[in-house]
Structure 1
Amino acid sequence: MNLARRTMNAPALAAVYERAWRPTLFYLASGRTTSADRRDAVTALRLGGEQKVLDIACGPGNFTRYLSDRLTGSGRVVGVDYSEPMLARAVVDNAGPRVGYVRGDARRLPFADGTFDAVCCFGALYLIPDPLAATREMVRVLAPGGRIAITTSHRGDTPFGHASRIVGGWSGLRVFDNDTFPALFTELGLVDIDQRVHRVLQYVSAAKPA
């Protein structure tokens, strides 16, 4: 297990991740606040009503619970993570009437095809050993007419972008170019693909045809 993944599995990080670690690092990486990211996630996924939502690599549930509060009736968000410390923290800090947490591998999701109306993965694909396999799994469990949204690393064609690839390789973080996810979404038959780059992060959303 590389340095980045060992860090994410540390109980000490789970305790401070939501309150300090993620807000600080993501603001430095993108210039965006957690509140802005959450609001945009709801918009990109078009959340509301009794949808079934899957939050991949949910960590301590800092997005999972927020997304669930936008649903009604039998709507529910399932958070999946591989880290036991993160899931333990999620249950303590971000439980709710429309939230559930499952330990699982993003590369082999324990759900049937087309189970969810919306699927997301915010700030984790660069940590997963086979991120493209995980993305294919996300699309597999997405129902026709559903929406997918991801936030992940971005390498621009600049000296800083190339330096970020080197640093990422040393730490175990994957740094993706501009075309990887739009091209993969197109290959998988998704439509309405939207990509927005903020500093060294990219936000990509799309829909599965009904």
Structure 2
Amino acid sequence: MTSFAQRMMGNPAFSQIYEQLWRPVFTRGFSLGGSETADYDRALRAYLARPGQRRVLDVACGPGNYSDDASRGLTGDGGYVGIDFSEAMLTQAQLRNPGERVAYVRGDAHHLPFPDCSFDTVLCLAALYLIPDPLPVLDEMVRVARPGGELIVFTSVRSSVASLPGAAALAGLSGLRIFGRRELLDRLESLGCEHVEQTVAGVGQYVHARRPLAQ
């Protein structure tokens, strides 16, 4: 049975308003009305736009919210690939966020259709909490990252507010998963990742890690 959130993401009408209305309001809600998430998001976009010859994979890319930032500074053979399960989201991505170095693919995040060690940067931003059985998605992200490649995740995290019974019930009804404080860190470390770092803003967390040069 699909969750409410999954059904919304697959709805063509919702996919049209997601980028301009829903996502900015929802993302701000992660920092409980504060600016921490928005501030980190601006810094992340600037980081993704830095010059370089990189292969970037955006897992559950939605309507391509980060495609312009992640592809703008690419050089040489660098390219951005956004993958999503929702045809409606990918249609909006192709219409609103095309680019010379940008490509979109429909696929399942649990079984990424790419060879091992294919990408320098692997992203999953504001999506992991919507994916059923999300931890194996991290496994796939690490698999397709090149040795020394980076993984960047933005998702939910348990806090004093998120742990309230009412909040947990609401998350369950909507299909949003609230991750434990160390849940993603422990998984990435068990996969051999290095330099695993977490920044918490309200009920949101940014996690950055690197696949080791040799395993």
Q: Please give the TM-score of this superposition, normalised by the length of structure 1.
A: 0.93
Check if 1:91 corresponds to 2:63.
no
Check if 1:138 corresponds to 2:161.
no
Query: What stretches of structure 2 of length at least 5 have no aligned partner?
Result: none
Check if 1:162 corresponds to 2:164.
yes
Residues 65-95 of structure 1: per-residue CA shift (max 9 Å, x gap): 2211121222101000000010000000000
Query: What stretches of structure 1 of length at least 5 have no aligned partner?
Result: none
Partner of 1:37: 41
What secondary structure sits across from 1:101 in the alignment?
strand
**Distance apart, 1:160 and its partner CA:** 4.4
Give RMSD over aligned pairs. Answer: 1.7
Partner of 2:13: 12
What secondary structure sits across from 2:163 in the alignment?
helix
Cα 1:71–1:114 change in 2 (3 A) is same
**Distance apart, 1:181 and its partner CA:** 0.6
8 Å contact kept, 1:46–1:147 = no
The amino acid that maps onto 2:29 is: L
Of residues 167, 180, 190, the one that matches 2:183 is 180
Larger CA deviation: 128-137 vs 32-41:
32-41
8 Å contact kept, 1:52–1:75 = yes
Identity of aligned residues (%): 45
8 Å contact kept, 1:151–1:203 = yes
Which residues of 2 match residues 53-92 of structure 1 at below 5 A?
53-92=56-95
Cα 1:132–1:192 change in 2 (3 A) is same
Cα 1:130–1:48 change in 2 (3 A) is farther
The amino acid that maps onto 2:14 is: L
Cα 1:103–1:201 change in 2 (3 A) is same
The amino acid that maps onto 1:121 is: C
Partner of 1:153: 156
